[in-house]
A and B are shown apart, each in its own frame.
Chain A
Amino acid sequence: MSLERITDPREIEHWTGHMETDYVYTLGIAGEIFFREIKENAKIMGAKCKKCNLIYVPPRLFCERCFEKLNEWVEVSKRGMVHTYTVAYIDVDGSKLKEPIVWAMIRIDDVHGGFVHKLGEVNSQDVKIGMRVEAVFEDKEKRVGSILDIKYFKPVG
Protein backbone atom coordinates (compact mmCIF):
# COMPACT_ATOMS: atom_id res chain seq x y z
CA MET A 1 0.00 0.00 0.00
CA SER A 2 1.59 3.23 -1.10
CA LEU A 3 0.64 6.83 -1.43
CA GLU A 4 2.74 8.30 -4.17
CA ARG A 5 3.61 11.92 -3.72
CA ILE A 6 4.95 14.42 -6.21
CA THR A 7 7.74 16.40 -4.59
CA ASP A 8 8.92 18.37 -7.63
CA PRO A 9 6.24 20.98 -8.52
CA ARG A 10 7.43 20.96 -12.13
CA GLU A 11 6.11 17.41 -12.34
CA ILE A 12 2.55 18.66 -11.93
CA GLU A 13 0.79 19.14 -15.21
CA HIS A 14 -1.77 21.86 -15.57
CA TRP A 15 -4.70 21.91 -17.89
CA THR A 16 -5.94 25.33 -18.96
CA GLY A 17 -9.31 26.43 -20.16
CA HIS A 18 -11.95 29.11 -19.81
CA MET A 19 -15.66 29.56 -19.43
CA GLU A 20 -17.06 31.26 -22.47
CA THR A 21 -20.62 32.27 -21.94
CA ASP A 22 -22.39 35.59 -22.38
CA TYR A 23 -25.09 36.65 -19.97
CA VAL A 24 -28.18 38.69 -20.71
CA TYR A 25 -30.02 39.72 -17.55
CA THR A 26 -33.61 40.97 -17.71
CA LEU A 27 -34.27 43.89 -15.40
CA GLY A 28 -37.37 42.23 -14.02
CA ILE A 29 -40.82 43.68 -13.45
CA ALA A 30 -39.68 46.21 -10.83
CA GLY A 31 -36.34 46.91 -12.47
CA GLU A 32 -37.92 47.94 -15.77
CA ILE A 33 -39.95 50.71 -14.12
CA PHE A 34 -36.96 51.90 -12.07
CA PHE A 35 -34.59 52.16 -15.01
CA ARG A 36 -37.19 53.58 -17.38
CA GLU A 37 -37.71 56.55 -15.06
CA ILE A 38 -33.96 57.03 -14.75
CA LYS A 39 -33.57 56.98 -18.52
CA GLU A 40 -36.56 59.11 -19.52
CA ASN A 41 -36.85 61.54 -16.64
CA ALA A 42 -33.68 61.34 -14.53
CA LYS A 43 -35.96 60.41 -11.62
CA ILE A 44 -35.17 57.93 -8.87
CA MET A 45 -38.22 55.82 -7.95
CA GLY A 46 -38.88 53.89 -4.79
CA ALA A 47 -41.47 51.22 -3.99
CA LYS A 48 -43.66 51.86 -0.97
CA CYS A 49 -44.77 49.16 1.47
CA LYS A 50 -47.78 50.58 3.31
CA LYS A 51 -47.83 47.75 5.84
CA CYS A 52 -44.24 48.18 6.99
CA ASN A 53 -44.22 51.93 6.29
CA LEU A 54 -41.02 51.77 4.27
CA ILE A 55 -39.99 53.11 0.88
CA TYR A 56 -37.49 50.75 -0.75
CA VAL A 57 -34.66 51.88 -3.02
CA PRO A 58 -33.81 50.03 -5.23
CA PRO A 59 -37.51 49.31 -5.59
CA ARG A 60 -38.77 45.74 -5.68
CA LEU A 61 -41.85 43.79 -6.64
CA PHE A 62 -42.48 42.62 -3.08
CA CYS A 63 -41.60 43.50 0.50
CA GLU A 64 -39.20 40.93 1.92
CA ARG A 65 -40.42 41.66 5.46
CA CYS A 66 -44.18 41.19 5.18
CA PHE A 67 -44.15 39.46 1.75
CA GLU A 68 -46.87 41.68 0.28
CA LYS A 69 -46.72 42.69 -3.37
CA LEU A 70 -45.74 46.35 -3.80
CA ASN A 71 -47.82 48.40 -6.21
CA GLU A 72 -47.20 51.94 -5.11
CA TRP A 73 -44.30 53.82 -6.70
CA VAL A 74 -43.04 57.19 -5.47
CA GLU A 75 -40.36 59.57 -6.66
CA VAL A 76 -37.62 59.92 -4.03
CA SER A 77 -34.93 62.50 -3.41
CA LYS A 78 -31.75 62.57 -5.47
CA ARG A 79 -29.87 63.52 -2.33
CA GLY A 80 -28.51 61.50 0.50
CA MET A 81 -25.71 60.90 2.93
CA VAL A 82 -22.47 58.94 2.72
CA HIS A 83 -23.05 55.91 4.97
CA THR A 84 -19.57 54.54 4.35
CA TYR A 85 -16.92 54.80 1.64
CA THR A 86 -13.63 53.41 0.41
CA VAL A 87 -10.87 54.66 -1.85
CA ALA A 88 -9.83 52.20 -4.55
CA TYR A 89 -6.31 52.23 -6.01
CA ILE A 90 -6.65 49.07 -8.06
CA ASP A 91 -9.07 48.14 -10.81
CA VAL A 92 -11.42 45.14 -11.09
CA ASP A 93 -8.66 43.03 -12.63
CA GLY A 94 -6.04 44.02 -10.07
CA SER A 95 -4.17 46.55 -12.21
CA LYS A 96 -3.30 49.99 -10.84
CA LEU A 97 -5.73 52.85 -11.47
CA LYS A 98 -4.40 56.14 -12.89
CA GLU A 99 -6.50 58.11 -10.41
CA PRO A 100 -7.97 56.63 -7.22
CA ILE A 101 -11.75 56.20 -7.26
CA VAL A 102 -13.95 56.82 -4.23
CA TRP A 103 -16.74 54.23 -3.91
CA ALA A 104 -19.45 55.01 -1.39
CA MET A 105 -22.62 53.55 0.01
CA ILE A 106 -25.10 56.40 -0.13
CA ARG A 107 -28.28 56.40 1.95
CA ILE A 108 -30.94 58.34 0.04
CA ASP A 109 -33.03 60.75 2.16
CA ASP A 110 -36.20 59.31 3.73
CA VAL A 111 -35.99 55.88 2.15
CA HIS A 112 -34.90 52.45 3.24
CA GLY A 113 -31.84 51.80 1.17
CA GLY A 114 -29.65 53.60 -1.30
CA PHE A 115 -26.87 52.99 -3.76
CA VAL A 116 -23.31 51.87 -4.04
CA HIS A 117 -21.82 54.38 -6.46
CA LYS A 118 -18.84 56.59 -7.31
CA LEU A 119 -18.23 59.96 -5.72
CA GLY A 120 -17.14 62.75 -8.07
CA GLU A 121 -16.05 66.38 -7.95
CA VAL A 122 -14.33 65.72 -4.63
CA ASN A 123 -10.85 64.83 -3.41
CA SER A 124 -10.58 61.50 -1.69
CA GLN A 125 -9.06 63.11 1.40
CA ASP A 126 -12.07 65.41 1.80
CA VAL A 127 -14.67 62.66 1.91
CA LYS A 128 -16.34 62.14 5.29
CA ILE A 129 -18.91 59.68 6.55
CA GLY A 130 -22.14 61.61 6.92
CA MET A 131 -21.26 63.95 4.04
CA ARG A 132 -24.29 65.10 2.04
CA VAL A 133 -24.23 64.24 -1.67
CA GLU A 134 -26.45 64.50 -4.74
CA ALA A 135 -26.79 62.37 -7.87
CA VAL A 136 -25.40 63.80 -11.11
CA PHE A 137 -27.05 62.33 -14.21
CA GLU A 138 -25.76 61.92 -17.76
CA ASP A 139 -27.37 64.08 -20.44
CA LYS A 140 -30.61 62.63 -21.73
CA GLU A 141 -29.17 61.50 -25.09
CA LYS A 142 -26.49 59.54 -23.32
CA ARG A 143 -28.82 57.74 -20.90
CA VAL A 144 -29.60 54.09 -21.75
CA GLY A 145 -31.47 52.84 -18.68
CA SER A 146 -28.50 51.67 -16.61
CA ILE A 147 -27.07 52.41 -13.17
CA LEU A 148 -24.32 54.25 -15.06
CA ASP A 149 -26.89 56.84 -16.19
CA ILE A 150 -25.96 58.33 -12.84
CA LYS A 151 -22.39 59.49 -13.46
CA TYR A 152 -21.53 59.91 -9.77
CA PHE A 153 -22.71 61.56 -6.55
CA LYS A 154 -21.20 64.95 -5.76
CA PRO A 155 -21.01 66.79 -2.44
CA VAL A 156 -23.64 69.44 -1.74
CA GLY A 157 -23.61 72.15 0.88
Chain B
Amino acid sequence: MSAKIREYPGEEIKTRDLMEGRVPVVRWRPEAKYAWAAGVAMSRFLKELKMGRIIARRCRKCGRIVVPPRMFCEWCFRPTDEWVYVKDTGIINTYSVSYLAADATRLKEPIIVAVIELDGASKGIGILHVLGEVKPDDVKFGMRVKAVWEPPGKRTGAITDIKYFKPVQEA
Protein backbone atom coordinates (compact mmCIF):
# COMPACT_ATOMS: atom_id res chain seq x y z
CA MET B 1 0.00 0.00 0.00
CA SER B 2 2.80 2.40 0.77
CA ALA B 3 3.81 1.96 -2.84
CA LYS B 4 0.46 3.50 -3.87
CA ILE B 5 0.63 6.48 -1.49
CA ARG B 6 1.97 9.49 -3.37
CA GLU B 7 1.86 12.10 -0.66
CA TYR B 8 1.99 12.04 3.11
CA PRO B 9 -0.20 14.74 4.71
CA GLY B 10 1.01 17.46 7.04
CA GLU B 11 1.69 21.17 6.63
CA GLU B 12 4.97 22.08 8.31
CA ILE B 13 5.50 25.41 10.09
CA LYS B 14 8.49 26.77 11.98
CA THR B 15 8.65 27.39 15.75
CA ARG B 16 9.73 30.99 15.04
CA ASP B 17 6.53 31.57 13.05
CA LEU B 18 4.49 30.36 16.01
CA MET B 19 6.33 32.49 18.53
CA GLU B 20 6.40 35.63 16.39
CA GLY B 21 2.75 35.48 15.39
CA ARG B 22 3.24 34.76 11.69
CA VAL B 23 0.88 31.81 12.02
CA PRO B 24 -2.47 32.66 13.65
CA VAL B 25 -2.69 31.01 17.06
CA VAL B 26 -4.51 31.13 20.37
CA ARG B 27 -2.34 31.45 23.47
CA TRP B 28 -3.27 30.20 26.93
CA ARG B 29 -1.61 29.61 30.27
CA PRO B 30 -3.29 27.27 32.72
CA GLU B 31 -3.17 28.55 36.28
CA ALA B 32 -2.88 25.18 37.88
CA LYS B 33 -1.68 25.07 41.47
CA TYR B 34 -1.46 21.98 43.61
CA ALA B 35 -1.35 21.03 47.26
CA TRP B 36 -0.55 17.34 47.30
CA ALA B 37 -1.21 15.45 50.50
CA ALA B 38 2.15 13.90 51.31
CA GLY B 39 0.48 10.84 52.75
CA VAL B 40 1.20 8.89 55.90
CA ALA B 41 4.70 7.67 55.02
CA MET B 42 6.02 10.81 53.39
CA SER B 43 4.64 13.10 56.10
CA ARG B 44 6.86 11.29 58.62
CA PHE B 45 9.76 11.24 56.12
CA LEU B 46 9.59 15.02 55.69
CA LYS B 47 9.40 15.60 59.47
CA GLU B 48 12.49 13.43 59.96
CA LEU B 49 14.37 15.32 57.22
CA LYS B 50 13.71 18.53 59.14
CA MET B 51 15.41 16.91 62.13
CA GLY B 52 18.39 15.86 60.03
CA ARG B 53 17.49 12.17 59.75
CA ILE B 54 16.48 9.82 56.94
CA ILE B 55 13.80 7.29 57.81
CA ALA B 56 12.79 4.12 55.97
CA ARG B 57 10.21 1.31 56.36
CA ARG B 58 10.84 -2.43 56.69
CA CYS B 59 8.67 -5.21 55.30
CA ARG B 60 9.22 -8.33 57.43
CA LYS B 61 8.01 -10.68 54.70
CA CYS B 62 10.55 -9.85 51.99
CA GLY B 63 12.91 -8.28 54.51
CA ARG B 64 13.49 -5.13 52.45
CA ILE B 65 14.22 -1.80 54.09
CA VAL B 66 12.91 0.76 51.60
CA VAL B 67 13.32 4.48 51.10
CA PRO B 68 11.32 6.55 50.16
CA PRO B 69 9.27 4.89 52.91
CA ARG B 70 5.88 3.45 52.06
CA MET B 71 3.08 2.08 54.22
CA PHE B 72 2.61 -0.96 51.98
CA CYS B 73 5.18 -3.21 50.30
CA GLU B 74 4.60 -3.27 46.55
CA TRP B 75 6.31 -6.65 46.20
CA CYS B 76 4.39 -8.52 48.89
CA PHE B 77 1.30 -6.32 48.69
CA ARG B 78 0.86 -6.10 52.43
CA PRO B 79 1.41 -3.27 54.95
CA THR B 80 5.05 -2.60 55.88
CA ASP B 81 5.88 -3.30 59.52
CA GLU B 82 8.18 -0.76 61.15
CA TRP B 83 10.13 2.47 60.85
CA VAL B 84 13.89 2.14 60.48
CA TYR B 85 16.44 4.97 60.42
CA VAL B 86 19.02 4.68 57.65
CA LYS B 87 22.33 6.52 57.41
CA ASP B 88 22.92 9.65 55.42
CA THR B 89 25.87 8.01 53.67
CA GLY B 90 25.91 5.65 50.72
CA ILE B 91 27.45 4.72 47.38
CA ILE B 92 26.77 5.96 43.86
CA ASN B 93 24.66 3.53 41.79
CA THR B 94 24.59 5.76 38.72
CA TYR B 95 25.16 9.44 37.94
CA SER B 96 25.07 11.98 35.14
CA VAL B 97 26.11 15.56 34.48
CA SER B 98 23.28 17.85 33.45
CA TYR B 99 23.64 21.02 31.38
CA LEU B 100 19.86 21.35 31.19
CA ALA B 101 17.51 23.00 33.68
CA ALA B 102 14.00 21.64 34.22
CA ASP B 103 12.61 23.95 31.52
CA ALA B 104 15.20 22.81 28.97
CA THR B 105 17.27 26.02 29.16
CA ARG B 106 21.03 25.57 29.27
CA LEU B 107 22.99 25.77 32.53
CA LYS B 108 26.46 27.35 32.62
CA GLU B 109 27.47 25.29 35.63
CA PRO B 110 26.33 21.69 35.29
CA ILE B 111 24.37 19.85 37.98
CA ILE B 112 25.74 16.42 38.88
CA VAL B 113 22.81 14.18 39.66
CA ALA B 114 23.05 10.66 41.09
CA VAL B 115 21.10 7.71 42.42
CA ILE B 116 22.64 6.99 45.82
CA GLU B 117 22.20 3.64 47.56
CA LEU B 118 21.90 4.56 51.23
CA ASP B 119 23.70 2.63 53.99
CA GLY B 120 21.18 0.73 56.10
CA ALA B 121 18.63 0.39 53.30
CA SER B 122 18.47 -2.83 51.30
CA LYS B 123 20.82 -3.29 48.37
CA GLY B 124 19.77 -1.38 45.29
CA ILE B 125 17.45 0.88 47.25
CA GLY B 126 18.48 4.43 46.38
CA ILE B 127 17.28 7.98 46.24
CA LEU B 128 17.85 10.70 43.66
CA HIS B 129 19.98 13.66 44.72
CA VAL B 130 22.69 16.03 43.53
CA LEU B 131 26.43 15.88 44.19
CA GLY B 132 28.53 18.80 45.41
CA GLU B 133 32.14 19.63 46.26
CA VAL B 134 33.27 17.37 43.44
CA LYS B 135 34.25 17.84 39.79
CA PRO B 136 32.29 15.84 37.16
CA ASP B 137 35.44 14.03 36.01
CA ASP B 138 36.21 12.82 39.55
CA VAL B 139 32.86 11.07 40.10
CA LYS B 140 33.04 7.27 39.99
CA PHE B 141 30.50 4.47 40.11
CA GLY B 142 30.48 2.98 43.61
CA MET B 143 32.01 6.12 45.11
CA ARG B 144 31.22 6.67 48.78
CA VAL B 145 29.30 9.89 49.56
CA LYS B 146 27.81 11.67 52.59
CA ALA B 147 24.94 14.13 52.88
CA VAL B 148 25.65 17.79 53.57
CA TRP B 149 22.66 19.20 55.43
CA GLU B 150 21.27 22.69 55.69
CA PRO B 151 21.74 24.09 59.20
CA PRO B 152 18.81 23.15 61.51
CA GLY B 153 17.29 26.65 61.38
CA LYS B 154 17.08 26.57 57.59
CA ARG B 155 15.47 23.16 57.22
CA THR B 156 11.81 23.15 56.17
CA GLY B 157 10.94 19.45 55.91
CA ALA B 158 11.91 18.85 52.28
CA ILE B 159 14.33 16.68 50.29
CA THR B 160 16.34 19.88 49.80
CA ASP B 161 17.10 19.97 53.55
CA ILE B 162 20.00 17.91 52.25
CA LYS B 163 21.95 20.41 50.13
CA TYR B 164 23.93 17.74 48.30
CA PHE B 165 26.03 14.61 48.82
CA LYS B 166 29.80 14.95 48.82
CA PRO B 167 32.56 12.36 48.43
CA VAL B 168 34.11 10.91 51.59
CA GLN B 169 37.18 8.74 52.05
CA GLU B 170 36.53 5.05 52.55
CA ALA B 171 36.60 4.20 56.27
Contacts and interface: CB of A to CB of B under 8 A. Distances in A.
Q: Do chains A and B touch in the complex (CB under 8 A)?
A: yes
Interface of A: 1-6, 11-19, 21-27, 29, 32, 35-36, 93, 145-146
A22 B47 contact: no
A24 B43 contact: no
B37 interface: yes
Interface stretch (B24-32, B88-96, B123-131, B138-146): B24-32
A22 B30 CA distance: 7
A35 B24 CA distance: 9
Contact of A26 (B13, B39, B40, B71): B13
B71 A4 contact: yes
A13 B41 CA distance: 10
A27 B17 CA distance: 13
B43 A3 contact: no
Given A1-B81, A2-B79, A3-B79, A27 B25 contact: yes
Chain B interface, >50% SS class = mixed
B128 to A, nearest CB: 16
A35 B43 CA distance: 51
B3 interface: no
A39 to B, nearest CB: 8
Given A12-B37, A13-B47, A21 B18 contact: no
B5 to A, nearest CB: 16
Contacts of A12: 37-40, 43
A14 B79 contact: no
A87 B61 CA distance: 60
B135 interface: no
B23 interface: yes
Contacts of A16: 33-36
A18 to B, nearest CB: 4
A72 B25 CA distance: 23
B106 interface: no
B120 interface: no
Per CB-CB distance, the 7 closest pairs between chain A and chain B, nearest first, are A13-B38, A13-B43, A19-B32, A18-B33, A25-B26, A14-B35, A23-B28
